[in-house]
Amino acid sequence: MARLSVNINKFATLRNARGGNNPDLIKTAIDCERFGAEGITVHPRPDERHIRKDDVLELSKVVSTEFNIEGYPDKRFMDLVIKVQPTQVTLVPDPPDVLTSNAGWNTIEKKGFLREILNELKSNGIRTSIFLEPDEKMVDGAKEVETDRIELYTEAYARNYTNNKVDAIKLYKQAALKAESLGIGINAGHDLDLKNLNYFVKEIPMTQEVSIGHALVCDAIYLGLENTIQMYLKQACDK
C-alpha cells in the first residue's frame, strides 16, 4: 500500500494571494492528517511564493505523520531542514525561478554533489529521497550516491496515460524494478490524480509513498477536502 502525503503548497499560494492567514496553513495540515493523510509535503522556494520558512518551522511542531520537505539543496534549504529534522527530505534539481519541478536529477553528472548532501542529511537522521526520471541509468546512479529512496517524476506518465496507459507506465516499471533490485525505496509524484493513480500503484506495487498536491486541491474545491483525501487513499490502497 502506498502512503498518501498531501502537498499543501497550493493552500499557501491561496493564502498568499490575499495576505493574512486564510486559509490557515497549520489548521489545513492538521485537518489533512485528521482526514486520513499519512504525510504532509511542502516545497519551500527561495522567493517564498507559497510555503515560507516560518511555515516550515511551525508545521514541524504540529505534523504528527511523516513530514516531507522538498527542495533544491542550497545553503538556505539545508540550514532549514537540518534545524527542522523532518522524516524525509526530497532533493529536486530546481533552479530558483522555475514554476514547478520539471526534471529529475542527473545522478551521474551530479554524483559528488548529491553524495555529499545526502550524507549530511543521513548523518542528521533524515531519510533521503531524490527526484528522478524513469531512467535505469539514473537509478544506478542513485545507488552510487546512496540515497534511501527515489521519487519517480510522473509528469510524463500522467500526460500519456489517457493515450496509452500501458506505454505510459513502461519505463516507470523498469525503473522501479531496477530500484527495488538495488534496495532503493520508491516514491512517486507530479500530476498524479484520481484518474491515473490507481493504475500506477497497481502496476508498481512496491511504491511506498505518493506525494500529491495540485490535483488533490483542485478536486477538493468540488468534492470537499475530507472526501477528496479519502478518495485518494482508496486509489492509493486498492491494488
- Catalytic residue (one of 33, 151, 190, 209): 190
Pick the catalytic residue: 33, 38, 66, 70?
Answer: 70
Cβ atoms of residues 224 and 36 within 8 Å: no
Q: What are phi and psi of 123, to 5 degrees?
A: -70, -20
Q: What DSSP string describes 137-189?
A: HHHHHHHHHT-SEEEEE-HHHHHHTTT-HHHHHHHHHHHHHHHHHTT-EEEEE
Pick the catalytic residue from 43, 50, 133, 151.
43
For residue 190, indicate whether it is catalytic: yes
Mark whether 146 is an active-site residue.
Answer: no
Please enumerate in sequence order all residues whose Cβ is within 8 A of that of 224, keeping only pairs 6 or more positions apart, or say none: none
Contact 33, 4 (CB under 8 A): no
50 is catalytic: no
Q: What is the SS3 assignment for 71?
A: strand
Residues in contact with 132: Cβ distance below 8 Å, sequence separation at least 6, in sequence order? 104, 105, 107, 138, 139, 142, 150, 151, 152, 153, 175
Catalytic residues: 43, 70, 190
